[in-house]
Structure 1
Amino acid sequence: MNVFYNKEGIGDVLLVQLQTETPEKIDPEQFGDITLIKDAEGKIAGFNVFNASSYTDLAGGQQVEVSEKLVTSLQNALAKNGVDFTLEVDFSPKFVVGFVEAKEKHPNADKLNVCQVAVGDEEKLQIVCGAPNVEQGQKVVVAKVGAVMPSGMVIRDAELRGVASTGMICSAKELALPNAPEVKGILVLSEDAETGSAFEVKA
């Protein structure tokens, strides 16, 4: 779940995104202060909360941190407006330290590599990476599916030249880190960085 609030830009409205993919069919339904947005299959893809500041404390102009307190406030807002829907939220970090276990050349693209990346708790991701400096044995920053980059881009499952890619290995510039180098390449962390641990990224 991703939550956005920009009072100056769009008013006192909280935008809640439940799916990483933009629904092909947007079919809104209004319930008081809640507008439900459904996909082509009728599943709730997201919702907007109008008069949002009356339901929860918010800071404007940025992505809102998804916390248990916020989810409780949103659940209460849904209930108060007659929406019978239970929020199921993954609170695990979306930016984590990864370990590149293997790197192979992409079969259909000379400048791409297919990496097998451990991200903790025996979880491994296959990530297609075009950075020239990616190598086996590195500790890197991985944006998992559902992560929102500082640019506003949402990380989704993808297929690059016929190869599945889940997540992204990030550069310092993509993470909006201070003094990020202009040269193309991923951010390589120190060897003592703990695989699977959260990496703080400011929205």
Structure 2
Amino acid sequence: MITSYNPKQIGDVLIVVLGPKKGKQQINKKDDIVEIKDEDGNVIGYNIFNVSQIIPDIQNHNGKVDLNENQINQVNEFLTNHGFNSLLPKKVESKFVVGYVKSVKDHPDSSHLRITETEVQDGKTLQIVSSSPNMREGIKVVVAESGAMMPNGLIIWPSELKSVESDGMICSGRELRIPNAPDKPGALILPDSYKIGEPFNFEKAKTLFDE
């Protein structure tokens, strides 16, 4: 789940993203709630207007918002009272995790893309296509899993790069907007002290490029 709030651009509206766009969208509006479904009828998001009346302290935010448990409960109660059944998940786990590149092979149709098998949490392995020139086996990296919102607003969903499936993104320091990160392509290679599968700590990472 991704939630964002940008009152200067779109007004007092909470944007909730629950899944990727698929085909022609179906819109259902009731009072201050717009429910968005994909072509298969799956709820992929909500636009909730006048949301500061539900969550007063949201006015202190701008951009991506990490709702706490109480705020999620307030939104879910509002949705339920208006007859909507697809509620916000109560536990939202970080979509940025420490990964370990187990294997790397060349992309069959590209000279600059590499296909990785990258381990994330609980031993799960993702196939991720990467263009990082420093990609190699045996490194720890930051993985933006499906459903992650990058600092520039891009949302990561499963995709295909030159006909090869890619589930997630291996990030560079500049893409994560870490202070003093090199302004050039290349995966952020983490120190060995980082544990595979743990949520990536953006606050801790602020010192990664300190001289």
Flag whether TM exceeds 0.5 (same fold).
yes
Q: CA 1:75/1:173 → structure 2, altered by over 3 Å: closer, same or farther?
A: same
1:1-203 equivalent positions in 2, closer than 5 A: 1-19=1-19, 21-56=20-55, 57-58=57-58, 59-88=60-89, 91-201=92-202
Q: Any conservation in 2 of the 1:2–1:66 contact (CA below 8 Å)? A: no
In 2, the alpha carbon distance for the partners of 1:89 and 1:170 equals 27
Q: Any conservation in 1 of the 2:135–2:187 contact (CA below 8 Å)? A: yes
In 2, the alpha carbon distance for the partners of 1:184 and 1:84 equals 43
State the 1:43 CA deviation. Answer: 2.3
In 2, the alpha carbon distance for the partners of 1:24 and 1:87 equals 22
State the 1:113 CA deviation. Answer: 0.9
In 2, the alpha carbon distance for the partners of 1:158 and 1:89 equals 27
Cα deviation 1:96-143 (Å, max 9, x = unaligned): 111111111112211111111111211111111111101111011110
Cα deviation 1:66-125 (Å, max 9, x = unaligned): 432232121011023232333346622200111111111112211111111111211111
Q: Which amino acid aligns with 2:103?
A: A
Select the structure that is richer in helix. Answer: 2
% identical aligned pairs: 38
Tell me the number of residue pairs that the alignment of Structure 1 and Structure 2 aligns. 201
RMSD value, Cα: 1.7
Unpaired runs of 5+ in structure 2? Answer: 204-211
Unpaired runs of 5+ in structure 1? Answer: none
| Highest RCO, 1 vs 2 (Cα 8 Å, sep ≥ 6) | 1
Moved over 4 A (4+): none
In 1, the alpha carbon distance for the partners of 2:90 and 2:136 equals 34
1:70 is paired with a residue whose SS is helix
